[in-house]
Structure 1
Amino acid sequence: KRLDSVSRSPIYSHFSETVTGASSIRAYGAIQRFIEESNRKVDENHSCYYSSVVSSRWLTVRLEFLGNCVVFFTSLFAVLYRGTLSPGNAGLSINSALQITATLNQLVKGSTDLESNIVSVERIIEYTKEEQEAEWFRDESKLNESWPSNGAISFNRYSTRYREGLDLILKQIDVNIEPGTRVGIVGRTGAGKSSLTLALFRIIEADSGSISIDGVTIADLGLQELRSRLTIIPQDPVLFTGTLRMNLDPFNRYSDSQLWTALELAHLKKYANSLEAGLDHQISEGGDNLSVGQKQLVCLARALLKKSKILVLDE
């Protein structure tokens, strides 16, 4: 049961990944490889499932035999001692013996269910041992509502790594970015471009050195305070199931006129006007009813609404 439960999860994960990347799989002609991979995972699970079923049948036969033996010997005892044993006690003994098979089956079923479900408990325990992020809020940090008012960023001999034991991905970065400037970071794959973004949003923490924004060291701030003041347009646009209005303004902070202005600046107003429901147009999960370009423009309009002093564009 335990092996069956453990080997079943990779099947679901593989199926989900295959459905999500179906177009890429067909484009690169990798259909057969994914079919073979799916068959391999199913075979592994079925080998565990078959063993579980066979073991269950094997044990059931022996439990039934054991239960019948108990009933037989109880009945034999009642016959042999019928002179000293009252009919009521004899009937009670035989009736209890008849129920022992069901009791044994329930005991075995409970133990196998426990063994199967304990996998979920193990996963929860693994999550509890994961290293947690920094505090979401810090009472001692008191920022002005307008921070960052300028948008000056300073990397002060900053170094970081993805986790303990790995090599540094950023080494002794020492750079000042002046307010109002546009900075492009280029380099080969693995050079650390995206790592700078992760460091700025404190998704990875500093190994040494620090990052300051308008003179405030970001390590002294709560994560919500820091991330809510910065804006990023990720490489893969992120949209949620809901209305266009909700995707532009998830916290309901802006008026309709501000939303339309942002759509106009993002060159998406014409498309929004063509929608029957306008701002209340329903967007499906992941924005599947929008083109890739339209999803990027919605993310751009959302970023323009914040009017943040620091805007990060990932590719």
Structure 2
Amino acid sequence: MNYYYYTFQSIFRWLAVRLEFVGNCVVFFACLFAVLERDTLSAGIVGLSVTYALNVTQTLNWLVRMTTELETNIVAVERVKEYSEIPTEAPKEIAETKPYPSWPQKGEIVFESYGLRYREGLDLVLKDITCKIQPAEKIGIVGRTGAGKSSLSLGLFRIIEKAKGRILIDGIDISSIGLHDLRSKLTIIPQEPILFSGTLRVNLDPFDTYSDATIWRALEQAHLKSFVESLSRGLQHECTEGGENLSVGQRQLVCLARALLRKSKILLLDEATAAVDLETDDLIQQTIRQEFADCTILTIAHRLNTVMDYNRIMVLSAGKIIEFDSPQNLLNSRGSVFYAMASDAHLL
């Protein structure tokens, strides 16, 4: 705080010195011209001009400060105007198209000529994505940076609305139902773990749906039970804003435990193990394979070894699916992009 305050005062002094220099120049020239024109000017006019010239420095300081404050404060008005013009999200629930409570029962996902752009006027970041993911199938999504892997997850959760095509989950077009009805049925373990200010139990079960025994079982499956037991308050341990009093790896395991509690039919892993070591990564992958065996899993992976035993691998490039087959078939083809990626990762 003192650092920024000192910088502010230094800049203000820098400005004041230069404004006073300009004011002194005005006073100097007013006096100079009064002397040069003393034969034509009366004493009253000379006194009036010098008096007003002396006020220039104060007026300049006031004018610059008011202009700066106006420019700073008008930013708030610009933000309010911008936020008021942002289109709102779709309704949380649509009574006419509300899916049945047990939806989705199978976890089948179908992309039909799906396209996505971040805003109007920009090029498509996903182009003509067409594929069918069978129930309980394990799909690895790989590709170079900017291939569109994370954009696919944004479209699945309708964080960004479609530009063309559609996504069907168990035969229902996800764009026709409410956002709450869709997102409450999907589970994601994000790349950056999200925790809120509150107890550990609230972060795991914010709506108080599950019993303590169920939560402890999820923590054990997430390999976090021993850590929570070592805390003086256990599940009532207070998490600071963003979970800053936990390590990044522990926050990621909390997100995994949260997913284990919900046990949705569709699970999306967005580089979920990027923040943990390889040994913990293997334990987490083993837990996911065991506990989500009957669920459809989409894994956005940078570590190719985590998806080598999946049913199929989706290789994206420039927003398009260029390869979509089993890992064995892709590795048997030496000309495939996946083969080159596995070779670069020294997995062959």
Question: TM-score, normalised to structure 1's length?
Answer: 0.65
Label 1:212 to 1:49 Cα distance change in 2 as closer, same or farther (>3 A): farther
- Counterpart in the other structure of 1:238: 194
Indicate the SS of the match to 1:303: helix
Q: Which of 147, 164, 179 does residue 223 from structure 1 map onto?
A: 179
Instruction: Give the whole-Å Cα distance in 2 for the aligned partners of 1:212 and 1:244.
Output: 35
The structure in which a higher percent of residues are strand is: 2
Label 1:239 to 1:124 Cα distance change in 2 as closer, same or farther (>3 A): same
* 1:7-41 Cα distance to aligned partner (Å, 9 max, x none): xxxx99xxxxxxxxxxxxxxxxxxxxxxxxxx9xx
Report which stretch shifted further, 112-121 or 163-172.
112-121
- Counterpart in the other structure of 1:309: 265
Q: Which amino acid aligns with 1:280?
A: Q
Percent of pairs with identical residues: 57
- Counterpart in the other structure of 2:74: 118
1:183-262 equivalence runs, <5 A: 183-262=139-218
Q: Which of 122, 130, 140 does residue 166 from structure 1 map onto?
A: 122
1:263 aligns with 2:263: no
Q: Which amino acid aligns with 1:177?
A: I
Q: Per-residue deviation at 1:276?
A: 1.5
Instruction: Give the whole-Å Cα distance in 2 for the aligned partners of 1:129 and 1:221.
Output: 24
Q: Per-residue deviation at 1:132?
A: 2.3
- Counterpart in the other structure of 1:139: 95
Label 1:207 to 1:255 Cα distance change in 2 as closer, same or farther (>3 A): same
- Counterpart in the other structure of 1:287: 243
Q: Per-residue deviation at 1:240?
A: 1.1
Label 1:181 to 1:299 Cα distance change in 2 as closer, same or farther (>3 A): same
Indicate the SS of the match to 1:183: strand
- Counterpart in the other structure of 1:96: none
Report which stretch shifted further, 285-294 or 218-227.
285-294
Indicate the SS of the match to 2:143: coil
Instruction: Give the whole-Å Cα distance in 1 for the aligned partners of 2:16 and 2:92.
Output: 46
* 1:110-150 Cα distance to aligned partner (Å, 9 max, x none): 99976653331221011111232222222222211111111
1:7-156 equivalence runs, <5 A: 117-156=73-112
Q: Where in structure 1 do 4 or more consecutive aligned residues deviate above 6 Å?
A: 52-56, 108-115
Instruction: Give the whole-Å Cα distance in 1 for the aligned partners of 2:227 and 2:69.
Output: 54
Instruction: Give the whole-Å Cα distance in 1 for the aligned partners of 2:12 and 2:84.
Output: 29
* Aligned residue pair count: 230
The structure in which a higher percent of residues are helix is: 1
1:300 aligns with 2:267: no
Q: Which amino acid aligns with 1:257?
A: A
Indicate the SS of the match to 1:211: strand
Q: Which has the higher contact order (CA 8 A, sep 6+)?
A: 2
**RMSD, matched Cα:** 3.1
Could you list the runs of 5+ residues in structure 2 that have no partner in the other structure? 24-62, 272-348
Could you list the runs of 5+ residues in structure 1 that have no partner in the other structure? 1-10, 13-38, 60-107
Instruction: Give the whole-Å Cα distance in 2 for the aligned partners of 1:244 and 1:231.
Output: 19
* 1:221-275 Cα distance to aligned partner (Å, 9 max, x none): 1111111110000001111111110110011111111111111111111111121
